[in-house]
């Protein structure tokens, strides 16, 4: 059987890189999405290649529907249909609600939530027609529990959970699973951008006493992408060091 193809949005970021690597280790042909003309892309590809990881690049701003359509058409023409989609691209624009600008709301909702529609819409019908597929949406512990200073981000990440359950119901009979992962605080640039004293106070509340590792999220993605995960759909997988029990 030909190798299955996986697409990871925001695939060159902290979690994205670990997810690409875990899927590559699991035997998938992996394409990493990044913004158009992303300068470090070539270096990222070369560094991974030197470490035994052969990745393809799929450029598009995932907040732009037409760009996603063009990206998926180009990718599928080159590699064949996408069997596994990881909707991972995301940003933060934190601030207390009373100080939050409309632009902060719009940027986070379009990048973190509209993007999930934009990319999934290109790929899910083909998965259902072929009778196999995996969609994995990266939500957040803060979409599950809410977070001071993150009305925009928590709304987008909670929206992903409703989207996940709805789409899961629509394709359950077609061999396609749709699940969400809700990571806690993982040691990537996104978390390192929080002011140190605020970050330290958050880490102090995590029962396991540390930030999560990107590889811990990658391993969960590899499981969800596997044949053996065929009975899990519409789920929210909480992986947060005990920060929030659901």
Residues at the interface with ligand NAP (CB under 6 A): 9-10, 12-16, 33-35, 38, 61-63, 88-91, 111, 138, 140, 183, 185-186, 188-191
Those residues whose C-beta lies under 8 Å from the C-beta of residue 15, and which sit 6 or more positions away, are 88, 138, 183, 186, 188, 214, 217, 218
Catalytic residue among 65, 153, 223, 231: 153
Rounded distance between C-alpha atoms, residue 92 and residue 76, angstroms = 30
Rounded distance between C-alpha atoms, residue 167 and residue 72, angstroms = 19
95 contact choice in ligand NAP, ligand CAA, none (CB below 5 to 8 Å, kind-dependent): ligand CAA
User: With binding defined as CB under 6 A, does residue 55 bind ligand CAA?
Assistant: no
Contact with ligand CAA (CB under 6 A) among 42, 96, 169, 172: 96
User: With binding defined as CB under 6 A, does residue 92 bind ligand CAA?
Assistant: yes
The yes-or-no answer on residue 223 being catalytic is no
Rounded distance between C-alpha atoms, residue 154 and residue 105, angstroms = 11
Least Cβ distance, residue 47 to ligand NAP (angstroms): 14
> Which of these segments, 50-58, 87-95, 105-113, 205-213, binds ligand CAA (CB under 6 A)?
87-95
Structure tokens at 218: 């990658």
Per-residue x/- mask for ligand CAA, residues 152 to 191, rule CB under 6 A? -x-------------------------------x----xx
> Exposed/middle/buried for 77, CB within 10 Å: 0-12, 13-18, 19+?
exposed
CA 165 to centroid of chain Cα atoms: 16
Containing H/E element for 180? Answer: strand 176-183
Containing H/E element for 222? Answer: helix 214-225
Rounded distance between C-alpha atoms, residue 150 and residue 165, angstroms = 23
Least Cβ distance, residue 62 to ligand CAA (angstroms): 17
Least Cβ distance, residue 185 to ligand NAP (angstroms): 5
Structure tokens at 46: 């070369």
Those residues whose C-beta lies under 8 Å from the C-beta of residue 223, and which sit 6 or more positions away, are 229
Contact with ligand CAA (CB under 6 A) among 17, 118, 137, 142: 142
111 contact choice in ligand NAP, ligand CAA, none (CB below 5 to 8 Å, kind-dependent): ligand NAP
> Which of these segments, 108-116, 192-200, 213-221, 225-233, binds ligand CAA (CB under 6 A)?
192-200
Which residues of this chain interact with ligand CAA, rule CB under 6 A? 92, 94-96, 140-142, 147-150, 153, 185, 190-191, 194-195, 198, 202
Known catalytic residues?
A: 153
């Amino acid at each position: 059987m030909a190798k299955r193809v996986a697409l990871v949005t925001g695939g060159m970021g902290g979690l994205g890189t670990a997810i690409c690597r875990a899927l590559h280790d699991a035997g998938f042909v992996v394409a990493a999405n990044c913004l158009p003309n992303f300068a470090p892309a070539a270096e990222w590809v070369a560094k991974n290649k030197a470490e035994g990881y052969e990745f393809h690049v799929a450029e598009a701003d995932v907040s732009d529907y037409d760009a996603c359509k063009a990206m998926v058409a180009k990718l599928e023409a080159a590699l064949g249909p996408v069997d596994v989609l990881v909707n991972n691209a995301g940003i933060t624009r934190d601030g207390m609600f009373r100080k939050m600008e409309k632009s902060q709301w719009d940027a986070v909702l379009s990048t973190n939530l509209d993007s999930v529609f934009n990319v999934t819409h290109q790929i899910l019908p083909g998965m259902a027609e072929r009778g196999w597929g995996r969609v994995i949406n990266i939500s957040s512990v803060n979409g599950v529990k809410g977070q001071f200073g993150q009305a925009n981000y928590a709304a987008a990440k909670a929206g992903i959970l409703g989207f996940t359950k709805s789409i899961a119901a629509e394709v359950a009979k077609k061999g396609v699973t749709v699940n969400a992962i809700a990571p806690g605080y993982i040691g990537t640039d996104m978390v390192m951008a929080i002011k140190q004293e605020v970050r330290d106070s958050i880490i102090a509340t995590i029962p396991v006493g540390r930030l999560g590792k990107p590889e811990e999220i990658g391993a969960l993605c590899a499981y969800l992408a596997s044949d053996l995960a065929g009975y899990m759909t519409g789920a929210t997988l909480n992986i947060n060091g005990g920060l929030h029990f659901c």
